[in-house]
Structure 1
Amino acid sequence: MAFEGLADRLQSTIKKITGKGKVSEQDVKEMTREVRLALLEADVNFKVVKQLIARIKERAIGQEVMESLTPGQQVIKVVKDELTQLMGGEQSKIAVADRSPTVIMMVGLQGAGKTTTTGKLANHLRKKHNRNPLLVACDVYRPAAIKQLETLGTQLDMPVFSMGTEANPVDIAHKAIEQAKEDHRDYVIIDTAGRLHVDENLMDELQSIKNDVKPDEIFLVVDSMTGQDAVNVAESFNEQLDITGVVLTKLDGDTRGGAALSIKSVTDKPIKFAGMGEKLDQLEAFHPERMASRILGMGDVLSLIEKAQTNVDEKQAKELEEKMRTMSFTFDDFLEQMGQVKQMGPLDELMDMIPGAGKMKGLKNAQFDEKQLGQVEAIIQSMTKKERQEPSIINGSRRKRIAKGSGTSVAQVNRLLKQFNEMKKMMKQMTNMQKGKKGKGGFNFPFM
């Protein structure tokens, strides 16, 4: 999970004050001290932390909180509001030019994931905004970069404009836009050259491209794993190119969070997107309020719903709902449901989006183990079609065969069968309670 260490520390800190019927000035001071330490450990810029803590303290000791009927909750709201503002306040949407095509320059250092992010962004624009991007290979110094972009274009079934390694990057960008107009492409995404560090030649070239094509967006791609180094890079690029936004890569990794929490304050430029995995569909629009909620353990239901809408088949969901109402769903239906949930992303990420799920994870972390879900899947796949349709026929010898075929134990098979039966009973009770009401399909997975 992104910000895992910071999230654990902050959630532990605010938990002490949440349920208090009365909050003293001393309580607020102790809480802000802990928050300050947590942010500094997360590699958040020192000046940013100082300003943030001052704002939290001022608001938390104010009349609005102290005279509230639920002061503990009000303090948490203050912390969430300030974290949200720190990361930009509102989502910053991608630009759309008055006349097509909209031109986006992708800039950054080598190793930040710029070329892959270029492909991800093109995929995002097509899937989420129904756009037709053209990818442009302007990194003429690394033949591998051109090849990588062409490979991404093939995977995405999307055109890549390239003139090889001998052409001038400014000419490539200029002609790519002419080509995009001819082909009625509405976005041009230019993958520029990177360096191991910021240098004058790099900036001169990027400035030349900018002056020629006049991009609508200049996105700086930075590796969030590098913490304050990412902030320093952002500051340098912004001073010389006046970037319009930042894309953070590897935000799904073991990142401390310093980059995401510092960049907006230092550069005054918004975080536009976040890379949440290596796959080409794992680029998300950055929502400051949703991220603040996740950091504080309040979940992110809106993002969860968006993932479900993108990955879950509506027709299958309705069919499943009907089967659950009539108590006719089987292990085959269960496998299908598991497959759809897997498409939504890693299970621990999905759990982070559910309010309060962090507490459950802390108590029973094993329940959300991807490996154990894989074992459940293996057990079901080791059953015959008839056994999946009618689990009641699975006797002792069948259980041994299923366990052997799935690489598990008879005890694990027994546990799954028992949990499946208990789940059906529970769903029957819920269906009876909701008679006359229109419910939503879906059920909890049994975990081993």
Structure 2
Amino acid sequence: MAFESLASRLQSTFDKLRGKGKVTEEDVTKAMREVRLALLEADVNFKVVKDFVNRVKERAIGQDVLKSLTPGQQVIKVVNDELTELMGGGQSKIAVAGRPPTVVMMVGLQGAGKTTSTGKLANYLRGKMNRKPLLVAADVYRPAAIKQLQVLGKQLDIPVFTIEGSNKPVEIARAAIEYAKTEHLDYVLIDTAGRLHIDETLMTELQEMKEVAKPNEILLVVDAMTGQDAVNVADSFNKQLALSGIVLTKLDGDTKGGAALSVKSVTGMPIKFVGMGEKLDALEPFHPDRMASRILGMGDVLTLIEKAQIDVDEATAKEMERKMRKAEFTFEDFLTQMEQVRKMGPLNEIMNMLPGMNKIKGMKDVKVDDSALGRIEAIIRSMTKDEKVKPEMINASRRKRIALGSGTTVQEVNRLIKQFEDMRKMMKQFTKMSDKAKKKGGGFKFPFMS
């Protein structure tokens, strides 16, 4: 996950302030020195770091902060506010034209993930915004670019427009917009050509396309893994094309995060979307406030709730809650629940969204192995129908058979059965808590339940 090293450094620095009953100017100065080093190590632009630290320090040593009841928390709030502002303040949404179609030019260097991001954006527009997008293959120079977009279009069941044999991207763009109007499509996403470096030919062609297509958005796709270079590329493209926003790819990878923290301040262009994985649904709107919260270890509950609302089937969730309350929860139900949670994305990512997870002893270094879920699934699927309903009937010989059938060991089968029994006991306790809360006029809900 991006920002991992930066988040660890910042959280460690602020943990020292949290516990203090009184915070002095010297404490703030010392903390800001650590923040400065952490940001520079994360490849954040030097000028951005300098301005950021000065702003935080100026606000943090104000009398309202130092004389408050919880000065340490107040300093952290100042940092959170300034981090949010640094990354754009609020969410910058994709444009919607007054008269369809909305035209979006996707630009960037070769290898940044532009074609894939174009496909992901089309998928997002259709799935999350209920729009009808058209993919336009206008990269006539990279041999595999048109084919790649056509394959993505087929996978997503989204139409792809191109003119076979044409080497004139401007004409392809013009014809695509006319086609979208005829077919009453909402968005035209033009996948333009990239180069390995910024050159005059590339920019001239993009400027000509801009002139003809009159796009509502020009989104630059940049690879977060390239760090400060991503910011320099964004600055160059912006000066020549007047960008409307940035799509930052590979933010889920082992990246320092400097590009995400620098790009808005250097170019003035907001990050509109971030790529958080290889799957075609792994493109998310960028929320500066939520990202700042995650960097400072406060979690990201809003995104987690949104994921649950989108990916967890409501009827299944209600039935699951009923079974939990009645202590009728079986291994078959456990499998269903596991599949629902897996839809929300990698477990490490989900855990990072939970506030305070990094504060639990030992949790900071825990890496959830998603492949382990596959082994659990194999074990459960190797049980008979009766065994799934009544795990207590699974004796030694049955455990041996299940291990053999699932390609696991008897020890793994034993461990899963014990964990399942412990979980059922815990659910009974939750049910009692829920009943008590209801009697007192409160309420309690199981995690991920509606």
- For the criterion TM > 0.5, the same-fold answer is yes
Query: 1:134 is paired with a residue of what secondary structure?
Result: strand
Alignment gaps of 5+ in structure 2: none
Paired position in structure 2 for 1:27: 27
In structure 1, distance between residues paired with 2:158 and 2:268: 33
Paired position in structure 2 for 1:214: 214
Equivalent residue letter for 2:47 = K
State the Cα distance separating 1:365 from its structure 2 match. Answer: 4.2
Equivalent residue letter for 2:388 = R
In structure 2, distance between residues paired with 1:361 and 1:388: 34
Farther off after superposition, 322-331 or 9-18: 9-18
Paired position in structure 2 for 1:303: 303
Query: 2:222 is paired with a residue of what secondary structure?
Result: strand
Farther off after superposition, 130-139 or 435-444: 435-444
Taking the TM superposition and a 5 Å limit, the aligned residue runs for 1:245-264 are: 245-264=245-264
In structure 1, distance between residues paired with 2:76 and 2:349: 23
In structure 1, distance between residues paired with 2:30 and 2:364: 30
Equivalent residue letter for 1:289 = D
Contact 1:141 1:165 in 2 (8 A): no
Change (3 A) 1:19 1:364: closer
TM superposition outliers: structure 1 runs of 4+ over 6 Å: none
Paired position in structure 1 for 2:273: 273
Paired position in structure 1 for 2:445: 440
Change (3 A) 1:381 1:411: same
Paired position in structure 2 for 1:416: 416
In structure 1, distance between residues paired with 2:335 and 2:166: 53
Q: Deviations over 1:46-97 (max 9, x none)?
A: 0000000001111111112101100010011011111100000000011111
In structure 2, distance between residues paired with 1:234 and 1:364: 34
Q: Deviations over 1:141-188 (max 9, x none)?
A: 123100111111111111111013433111111111110000000111
Paired position in structure 1 for 2:348: 348
In structure 2, distance between residues paired with 1:50 and 1:132: 44
Contact 1:107 1:221 in 2 (8 A): yes
Contact 1:247 1:273 in 2 (8 A): yes
Paired position in structure 2 for 1:162: 162
Contact 1:170 1:212 in 2 (8 A): yes
Paired position in structure 2 for 1:202: 202
Query: 2:184 is paired with a residue of what secondary structure?
Result: coil
Query: 1:135 is paired with a residue of what secondary structure?
Result: strand
Query: 1:253 is paired with a residue of what secondary structure?
Result: coil
In structure 1, distance between residues paired with 2:16 and 2:407: 45
Q: Deviations over 1:316-372 (max 9, x none)?
A: 000001001100010000001111111111110000100011234844745733233
In structure 2, distance between residues paired with 1:361 and 1:69: 27
Paired position in structure 1 for 2:398: 398
Equivalent residue letter for 1:41 = E
Contact 2:434 2:445 in 1 (8 A): no
Query: 1:204 is paired with a residue of what secondary structure?
Result: helix
State the Cα distance separating 1:219 from its structure 2 match. Answer: 0.1
Alignment gaps of 5+ in structure 1: none
Paired position in structure 2 for 1:242: 242
| TM-score, normalised with respect to structure 1 | 0.96
In structure 1, distance between residues paired with 2:261 and 2:270: 11
Query: 2:75 is paired with a residue of what secondary structure?
Result: helix
Paired position in structure 2 for 1:65: 65
Query: 1:345 is paired with a residue of what secondary structure?
Result: coil
Taking the TM superposition and a 5 Å limit, the aligned residue runs for 1:330-345 are: 330-345=330-345
In structure 2, distance between residues paired with 1:10 and 1:382: 46
Change (3 A) 1:296 1:418: same
Farther off after superposition, 382-391 or 112-121: 382-391
Contact 2:228 2:259 in 1 (8 A): yes
Contact 1:19 1:73 in 2 (8 A): no
Q: Deviations over 1:221-270 (max 9, x none)?
A: 00000000000000000000000000000000001001000000000010
In structure 2, distance between residues paired with 1:253 and 1:296: 19
| TM-score, normalised with respect to structure 2 | 0.96
Equivalent residue letter for 1:319 = E
- Does residue 87 of the first structure (1) align with residue 92 of the second (2)? no
Contact 1:351 1:358 in 2 (8 A): no
Equivalent residue letter for 2:395 = N
> How many residues align structurally?
444
State the Cα distance separating 1:378 from its structure 2 match. Answer: 2.4
Q: Deviations over 1:102-144 (max 9, x none)?
A: 1000000000000000000000000111000111111111231
Change (3 A) 1:346 1:407: same
Contact 1:318 1:441 in 2 (8 A): no
Contact 1:107 1:193 in 2 (8 A): yes
Query: 1:98 is paired with a residue of what secondary structure?
Result: coil
Change (3 A) 1:294 1:95: same
In structure 2, distance between residues paired with 1:299 and 1:399: 39
Q: Percent identity?
A: 70
Q: Deviations over 1:12-52 (max 9, x none)?
A: 11111112110011111111111111110110000000000
In structure 1, distance between residues paired with 2:9 and 2:366: 21
Paired position in structure 2 for 1:228: 228
Contact 1:112 1:223 in 2 (8 A): yes
Paired position in structure 1 for 2:373: 373
State the Cα distance separating 1:409 from its structure 2 match. Answer: 2.9
